[in-house]
Amino acid sequence: MSRIFIIDDEIKITMLLSDRIAREGFEVETFTSAEEALPRIAEGKTDIVLCDLRLGGMDGLELLRQTKKSSPDTDFVIITAYASASTAVEAMREGAYEYLVKPFQMDEVILLLKRIQERRDLVVENIALREAVSALGAESKLLGKSSAISSVKDIIAKVAPTDTIVLISGESGTGKELVAAEIHNSSRRAKKPFIIINCAAIPETLLEGELFGYEKGAFTGAVQNKAGQFKLADKGTLFLDEIGELPLSLQSKLLRAIELGEFLPLGSSRPVKVDVRTIAATNRNLEDMVAEKTFRDDLYYRLNIFPVRIPPLRDRPEDILPIAEDFLREKGLHYVPLHEDVIKTLYEYPWPGNVRELRNILERATILAGSLPISKAHISLGAGSSISSPEDALGSLIGKKSLPEIERSLIEMAVERSGGNKSKAAALLGITRRTLYGRLEKYGLSGNSGNDKE
Q: What is the pLDDT along the chain (454 residues), one digit of tens a residue?
A: 789 999 998 898 899 999 999 999 899 999 999 999 999 999 888 999 999 988 888 999 999 999 999 988 899 999 887 666 567 778 888 888 888 888 888 998 998 998 888 878 776 666 555 555 554 444 446 788 899 999 999 999 999 999 999 999 999 889 999 999 999 999 999 988 999 998 988 888 889 998 998 887 888 777 677 888 998 899 999 999 999 999 999 999 999 999 999 999 998 888 889 999 999 999 999 999 999 999 999 999 999 999 999 999 999 999 999 999 888 888 877 667 788 999 999 999 999 889 989 999 998 888 888 878 888 888 888 644 333 344 444 555 555 567 777 788 788 878 877 777 887 787 777 787 777 887 888 887 765 544 444 4
What pLDDT score was predicted for residue 131?
Answer: 54
Nearest to 77 by CA among 5, 24, 9: 5
CA angle 93, 70, 29 (to 5 degrees): 95
What pLDDT score was predicted for residue 119?
Answer: 78
Residue type, 70: S
What pLDDT score was predicted for residue 404?
Answer: 76
Residue 337, preceding bond cis, omega within 30 degrees? yes
What pLDDT score was predicted for residue 87?
Answer: 74
134-172 burial, b at 16+ Cβ within 10 Å, e below that, comes to: eebbeebebbbebeebeebeebbeebbeeeebbbbbbbb
What is this structure's pTM?
0.59
Q: Which contacts of 17-25 are long-range, i.e. CB under 8 A and separated by 24 or more positions?
A: 17/50, 17/106, 17/109, 20/106, 20/109, 20/110, 21/109, 21/110, 21/113, 24/110, 24/113, 24/114, 25/1
Domains of the chain by range and CATH?
3-106 (3.40.50.2300), 118-309 (3.40.50.300), 314-442 (no CATH)
